[in-house]
Amino acid sequence: MPDVPEKIRCDACPVMCYIDDGKAGACDRYANSGGSLIRVDPLTVVANAQAQGTPLVPFLGKAADWDGELVRPGDEFVTAVGAGTTYPDYKPAPFIVSSHVDGVDMVTVVTEGIYSYCGVKVKIDTDRHLGPERAVVRCDGEAIGHVTTGEYGSQMLSLGGVNHLTGGSKREGRVTCQALLDLCNGKAVEMAIDDGSTVVIQAGMPPVVNGQREELMRVGCGSAAIGMFAKQWYDLVDEVVVVDDHITGVLSEHQAGKVLGARPTGISIRGRRSTPGRYFQVAAPGTGWGGTDVTDPLSILGDFKAKQAWPGLTMMMVSTTGEHAAYYILDDDLKPVLHDLTPALVASVERVRENCEPALCSVLFMGGAGGSLRAGVTENPVRLTKSVKDTLTYVSAGGAPVYVWPGGGITYMVDVTRMPDNSFGYVPTPALVAPIEFTMKLDDYAALGGHMDHVVPIDDVVGPEGQRHDQRQLARRADNPWPLDRSHFKWNPGA
């Protein structure tokens, strides 16, 4: 009887899969290759020189000799994408890589963190009402997050988090994990919001709301639009109303109109007057004009005041994106009668549209680098936290810059579109797996109690000796700061 290879047990996450030879574990990230546990995805290395548009063999001057390498020392950065994890926590990070940059010995510690405490913050550029604040966001029928505080011209969602990943049913956790994974890896995900809309979200792409692809982010609120374009409208029309869910603007009453000498028109707006020319709550939120439920803009007007209005008074009503616009002339009874926009007004509406930025979905992964992950960097994890807060250590994710929140722990956010493709994985606990790198001076790494006996030169990872690792080489994104740039760190002049 031929020998049948035994299953091996993977220890890269708490699931601890038994894996047959030639098969992958439940996460599809680790596999059994002839009895050896291997990482399926390649280790990702970012090269600096090509991304900056510099020649592959840069002119170094007479004092420097080119040794035949296409990328100079310090021009390669080992990311944590494809590196593997530190589970069961006490293990040193998979790669602790030293390099020599501008005369300074540096070290980068790379690991793929397993994040049960993670989620995404989604910014959706649209005026359209997606759902009430705090409304539940669902994917495949399961609650995966909620609508949070809206921002200027954008709707905001908070998705994931430990309560959805582990605090509900098994199906809720699985659906949440899959939705987060797809969003972070740049895939489109359709969601439904209670008492609101359906929306398709894909990082870096326009949102699709109720089947309609959004094109523009509003130029500003109605009041801001009046201020921006009052001078251009003043000679074209007697009155302008910019319809907006939050602050509707009225040219003749607004300070911008008054400074220009706009004549009172006797207009009456159905809403709560704030300051002159600024009205709140003119209509309910919706998917119509300016993010309201309005389909007929005249519905937000009362009767014109006879003492101030006059027959022949001209009025344009426009939305904050310029996607809706109408032109009216008052008849002898001071009733607005619809007319075609004049060519000059058409051009002004186009100017509004021109000043609107393209609508996009922004997806920011947010996770907490817990004590177990930090133990892979140092035997005394709190020292790493202090080092990050003291800017002795630079944190990146797949080479992309992150924002580290103040306060305790290492809680960070990163724009997923600035990371390498397919940077994220998962384990069926459920939790996301995301890359994180800690870069610092080698002396500082030793001082915080790092795993110095596991430090290897970068050539052992990406050079000829490193060919034992399955790798992919990527050019650095031009908009990402170089992680090995000395400007990221505090430096001790005496060191």
pLDDT in tens, 92-122: 888 899 988 888 899 999 999 889 899 999 9
Is there a contact between 320 and 220 (Cβ–Cβ < 8 Å)? yes
Average pLDDT over residues 126-137: 94
Q: How many CB atoms lie within 10 A of CB 237?
A: 20
Strands 154-160, 142-151: pairing kind: antiparallel
pLDDT greater than 70 at residue 343: yes
pLDDT at 411 over 80: yes
More confident residue, 394 or 7: 394
Q: Report how far residue 156's alpha carbon sits from residue 292's, in angstroms, rounded to the nearest whole number.
A: 17
pLDDT value at position 54? 39
Amino acid 353: pLDDT = 95
Q: Give the pLDDT band of residue 468 (cuts 50, 70, 90).
A: low
Helix (H) or strand (E) holding 276: none
Q: Is the peptide bond before 430 cis (omega within 30 degrees of 0)?
A: yes
φ, ψ dihedrals at 258, nearest 5°: -65, -40
> Span 20-29, mean pLDDT?
75
Q: Is residue 493 pLDDT above 80, yes or no?
A: no
Using CB atoms within 10 A of its CB, is residue 428 exposed (0-12), middle (13-18) or buried (19+)? Answer: middle
What whole-number distance in Å separates Cα of residue 158 and Cα of residue 144? Answer: 9
- Report the pLDDT value the prediction gives residue 134, as an integer from 0 to 100: 97
Average the pLDDT over 196-225 and give the result.
Answer: 95
* Tens-digit pLDDT profile for residues 33-82: 777 776 767 788 898 854 444 333 333 333 334 344 433 445 889 999 98
| β 95-101/455-457 pair status | parallel
Tokens representing 495 are 């060191």
Question: 475: number of CA atoms within 13 Å, CB side?
Answer: 12
Mean pLDDT, the chain, whole residue set: 88
pLDDT of residue 293: 94
Q: Are 377 and 384 a contacting pair, CB within 8 Å?
A: yes
User: Band of the pLDDT at 365, cuts 50, 70, 90?
Assistant: very high
- CA 429 centroid distance within chain: 25
pLDDT recorded at residue 75 = 82
Distance CA 436, CA 413 (A): 11
Under a CB-based contact definition with an 8 Å cutoff, are residues 205 and 459 in contact? no
The answer to whether the bond into 88 is cis (omega within 30° of 0) is yes
The residue with greater pLDDT, 12 or 136, is 136
Q: Over pLDDT 70: what percentage of the chain? A: 89
Lowest mean pLDDT among 38-52, 126-140, 182-196: 38-52
pLDDT at 464 over 90: no
Quote the CA–CA distance of 200 and 385 in Å, as a whole number.
Answer: 37
Which residue is associated with the tokens 């949102």? 207
Length of the chain: 495
60 contacts: CB under 8 Å, gap ≥ 6: 66
Q: Where are the beta strands (DSSP E) in 70-103?
A: 76-78, 95-101
Q: What is the mean pLDDT of residues 225-253?
A: 96
Query: How many other CB atoms are found less than 10 A from the CB of residue 323?
Result: 18
Cα–Cα distances (Å) from 402 to 33, 220, 268, 396, in that order, read 35, 28, 49, 6
Percentage above 90 pLDDT, the chain: 67
